[in-house]
Every structure is written in structure tokens, then in C-alpha cells.
Structure 1
Amino acid sequence: MAPINLNRTAVTCALLALVLLIFLGMGWQDRHGMAFAADDNAEKTTAVENGAGEDIKKAPCPPCPDPAKVVLKGLEEKRAAIAEDQERLEQEKKRLEKFKEEIDEKLEALGTLKQQIQDDLAKLDQRKTEQELESQAAFDAKMNTLVKVYSGMKPKKAAAIVDKMDIEVAKQIFSRMRETSAAQILAFVDSEKAAKISERIAFKKK
């Protein structure tokens, strides 16, 4: 019985040794694989960084604008805009001045026309007054002639004519006669007409 137990023990130890060797081999492979992978990753990272660095070095940085030039450019643009506004204002000013001159000329022409109209109206009034005076003078001359005629006639005969005369004309004649001659003729005039003539002569004297 003893040899059998020895063989079992030997087999068991051999199996344990084999398992141990397998595990140890797997750990070594994992460690060395991870190391190799880390080395590869490090090399790739270094290569990428070196390439990016080279790209950065190769791409030049764009030049920054000069602040003074930027300010000068802005001032120049502002000056040009102001000059353009001034030119536009000058043109507008000239246009308004021309328009003002045209208005002044029209006002002057209207003033001249107004004065001419006033002068014409004054001349017309004067002419009208002169015509009225001439007409009134002619009328007075005719009335004075009739007064002389009727004053020289017999009262009864003159009264017969006055009865057929327009009452306004009779008033004008009797208002120019001497009271004595007028009374003698009116004594023979129709009483109703004589009263109207007397009333009108009295009203005119008032």
C-alpha cells in the first residue's frame, strides 16, 4: 500500500507544478505584452506630438494688426465721411440760396405789380372823380339854364310845364330858383305835386 500513496503524491505535485508554470507563463506574457503595448503607445504619442509640433512650427502665425494703423484708418474714414457730409451741406446751402433768390425776385415782381395796380386804381378813381365833377358841372349848367328859362316865363305857363315834368327834375330846378320866382310858379302847380316838390326841397336843405 505504501508505493501507491507515493505515486499519487508525486502525480499531485507534478500537476500543481504544471499549473503553477502555466499561471506564471501567462503573468509574464501579460506583463511583457502590456509593457510592449505601453512602449508602442508612447512611441505613437511621441510621433504624433512630434508631427503636430512640426505642423505648428510649419504653419506661421498670422501678423497682428498695428493698433496705430487701425486708429489712423478709422480717423481717415471718419474724415472722409465728414468731408462728404460738408460737401452735401454746401450743395444744399447753395440750392436753398438759389431758391431764396428766386423767391425774392418773385416777391419783388409782386410788389411792383401791386404798386402798379394801386397806381392804376388811384388814376381810375381820379379819372372817375374828374368825370363825376365834369358830369356834375354839366348837369348844374343845364339846371341853371332851365332855372333862367322858367324864371323868365309867366308863372302860370311855367306851372303848366312843371305839372308834366319829372318830380326830381322839378326839385332840382326849384331848389336853384330864387324863393320869389319859385313861389309864384308853385302857386299854379298841381297842389299834390307842389307839396311833393316842396317836401323834397326841404329834405335836401336838411
Structure 2
Amino acid sequence: MKRLKLLPLSIVIMSMVLGVKIVDFSFGMGEALAASSEPAQEEPPAESGAQHEENAQADDEAEVAKAPSRQLSSNPSRKEIEYLQKLSDRRAELDRRSREIDDREKLLKAVELRIIERTKSLKKIEQTIEAALKKRDDREKVQLQSLVKMYTAMKPKEAARIFDDLEDDILLSIVENMKEKKMGAILAKMNLKKAKKLTNSLATREKLPEIEG
């Protein structure tokens, strides 16, 4: 009787365990099905030994092909050489012109200095001439004043006789510096033709002196 009571209990426990296993199994199958439904990522096929060797040889040939191009690029081309030559010629021409300009500037400066020195020399000569002329003028004035004083002291008749023989420019200079009264007395005693000529000369320069009758 006791065994009959334990049997139903054992059946219940076994049923529960079996249910749990069935649930676990069904859940695991679902994950497996989901994983199998995702697209698998394809891995690149592994290269064979011969193919790997061919690829390596191709890479080496590419490197060899690049080497001459790099070597050629380091050497200037004909156009580059011509361009560099033109630049060199242009620079030489500019240097030549620069030297010519420098030489011209030096020449102009030398000419300028020479002109300055020449101007100074001419200025000194001019000052010397002016000083000499002034001395001569002063000397002539002194001599003229001496003649005027001498003829003024003379009697009109004696002075008139000398004036008749003097050159016109000298006579005119003396008469211009004499007093009008004295000069009039001398003119009255001079040769009529000479006195007339002297009077005309004085009329063109200044007022005629009064002649006493």
C-alpha cells in the first residue's frame, strides 16, 4: 500500500524533469537555427605556393620598373637645361648692365667734381679780374681827378688850347668832372668846331654847362 503511494509521486517528479529538458532542447535548437540563417562571411581563398611566388615576382618587377623612372627624374631634361642656360645668360646680362651703370655713375661723379672744381677756379679768376678792374677804376678816378684839378687851376685860354688837341673820350671824361662855370669859360676859348662837337657829346649824356659870354 505504501509503494502505491510513492509511485505517483515519482511519476510527477520525472514528468517535471522531462519538461525542463524539453524546454532547454527547444531553446537550443532555436539559437542553432538562427545562427545557421545568418550569411557566413567568406574568407579569401588561401594562395597556393606557386601563386604567391608569381605575385612576389610581379612586385619585384614593379619596383625595378619604378627605379629607372626615379633615376631619370633626378636628371634634368633638355628643356630644363635650356631654361637654366637662359637664366644664367640673363643674370650675366644683368650683371653686365649693372657694371655699366656703376661705371657711368663713377664717370658722371668724376665729371661733376671736375665741373665743381672748374667753377671754383673760374670764380676765383672772376674775383681776381673784378679786383683788378676796381683797382684800375680807382686809379683812373684818381688820375682823372688830378687832371680835373690841374685844368681847373689853369687859365681858360691855356686849358682850351690843350682841350683842342685831346681825344674826344678823354676830353669828355675831364669835362664831366669839372664845375660848370669853369668849363664854360674854357669852351668859350676853344676851337669852334671842337667846342661844338664837345657840346653835342655832353648834350647826349647830361645837361649842358652854362657858357659865360
- TM above 0.5, one fold? yes
Structure 1: distance between partners of 2:186 and 2:175? 9
Aligned to 1:149: 150
Gaps of 5+ in 1: 1-63
Query: Quick check: 1:167 aligned with 2:171?
Result: no
SS in 2 for 1:173: helix
Aligned to 2:193: 192
Matching residue's letter, 1:181: K
Aligned to 2:110: 109
Gaps of 5+ in 2: 1-64, 208-213
Q: TM-score, normalised by structure 1?
A: 0.61
Aligned to 1:47: none
Offset at 1:161?
1.1
Aligned to 2:206: 205
Structure 1: distance between partners of 2:177 and 2:203? 13
Q: TM-score, normalised by structure 2?
A: 0.59
Query: Quick check: 1:179 aligned with 2:180?
Result: yes
Offset at 1:172?
0.7
Quick one: structure 1 residues 126 and 171, their matched pair in 2 at CA, closer, same or farther if it must change by over 3 Å?
same
Structure with the larger helix share: 1
Query: Quick check: 1:92 aligned with 2:107?
Result: no
Listed one character per residue, the Cα deviations across residues 36-77 of structure 1 (whole Å, up to 9, x for unaligned) are xxxxxxxxxxxxxxxxxxxxxxxxxxxx9x995798388533
Structure 2: distance between partners of 1:134 and 1:192? 36
Number of residues of Structure 1 aligned to a counterpart in Structure 2: 142
Listed one character per residue, the Cα deviations across residues 146-179 of structure 1 (whole Å, up to 9, x for unaligned) are 0000000111111111112112211110100010
Structure 1: distance between partners of 2:97 and 2:108? 16
Query: Quick check: 1:132 aligned with 2:154?
Result: no
SS in 2 for 1:205: coil
Structure 1: distance between partners of 2:73 and 2:91? 27
SS in 2 for 1:165: coil
Structure 2: distance between partners of 1:120 and 1:182? 47
Task: Say what the alpha-carbon RMSD is for the aligned residues.
Answer: 2.6
Offset at 1:185?
1.0
Listed one character per residue, the Cα deviations across residues 102-152 of structure 1 (whole Å, up to 9, x for unaligned) are 100001111112222222233333222222222221111111100000000
Structure 2: distance between partners of 1:202 and 1:139? 24
